[in-house]
Amino acid sequence: AGLSMSLYAHTYLPLPLIAALGTKEQKEKYLIPALKGDKIAALGVTEPGAGSDVAGIKTTAVDKGDHYEINGSKMFITNGNIADFVVIAAKTGEGFNMSMIIVDTDTEGFSSIKIDNKLGMHSSDTAQLFFEKCVIPKTNLIGQEGHGFYYQMNNFQEERLLAAITGTFVAEWSLEKAKKYCMEREAFGRPIGKFQVVRHKLAQMAIKVETCRSISFRAVAEFIEQGNKAETIITMAKAYTGEEAIKVINDSLQLHGGVGYTEDYGIARAWRDARLLSIGGGTTEIMHEILGKVVLDQVEHSDKMSKETAKA
């Protein structure tokens, strides 16, 4: 899971912004080499004091004429130590005025520290980034200055959709592992899969998996048809699969008994890695808050929805 997360963080987080909004020069310098695998990319939004609260970031990009001076820090950045460039969100004014800017990691004043004391995703590079008087040319600005908040809110939809798909896959895998083990492991003279309590547990897991699959597939279909206007169903899919996939994996580990607690069957690793599903890309609590605004306040996808999301 860690390796796939690093690939996903390279391909689906920073690169779509450059592909959609970047200049010809930016695409030639960053996008094409990244797609070829010649350069590694990262997205830097999360900070020590700002995760789901994107509007709360403190990193600043001060206009100095022909360049920006960037100061601040980023936290839990996937590929942060190995990236050749990072697309960061930085304040260029008050309130929602922030911009997306490309920072080369060989820029003077840039540094990173590896975060390796994680519960899971051990094969995925994670870092804290520091920017101290980094001089970045204005040609590295993606899109329009001050529009970065809205760009990132839209970018979140694809990230959350991929998280839902990932959760569904992990839940499916965990169910299959449990089914196979329960028909091989014998106790009291027969496979444990023949005991009613185990069969009922597997049935409940199967229901969760099928529900995850259904809501994720619907979210994909609506995203293909409507793009970012499918925000509501994508948010539902992210919230639901993030929680239910963890439950399925936990049940799978339980059914494996003692061996599930070891590294021999892969369930322990999946259990650790999957815990991120309800945190990364926006916590389940934030997803529920967004949905509360849709259900109760009837706030639909729009610039207003993006601003309301920031207040969650």
Residues 57 and 242: their CA atoms lie apart, in Å, by 25
Which residue in 27, 45, 26, 31 sits closest to 149, CA to CA? 45
Residues 224 and 38: their CA atoms lie apart, in Å, by 30
The active-site residue out of 47, 159, 231, 244 is 159
Residues 216 and 147: their CA atoms lie apart, in Å, by 29
Contact (CB, 8 A) for 191 and 185: yes
Helix, strand, or coil (residue 135):
strand
Query: Given the DSSP bridges, would you call strands 126-137 and 67-78 parallel, antiparallel or unpaired?
Result: antiparallel
CA distances from 87 to 46, 131, 300 (A): 12, 13, 28
CB neighbour list of residue 33: distance below 8 Å, 6 or more residues apart = 39, 84
Which residue in 11, 284, 278 sits closest to 119, CA to CA? 278
Residues 138 and 97: their CA atoms lie apart, in Å, by 16
159 is an active site residue: yes
Residues 5 and 79: their CA atoms lie apart, in Å, by 9
At how many degrees (to 10) do helices 148-184 and 303-310 cross?
A: 70
For the beta carbon of residue 82, count every other beta carbon within 10 angstroms: 15
Pull the structure tokens for residue 268. 């322990």
- 129: which strand partners? 74, 112
Contact (CB, 8 A) for 48 and 75: yes
Active site (catalytic) residues: 159
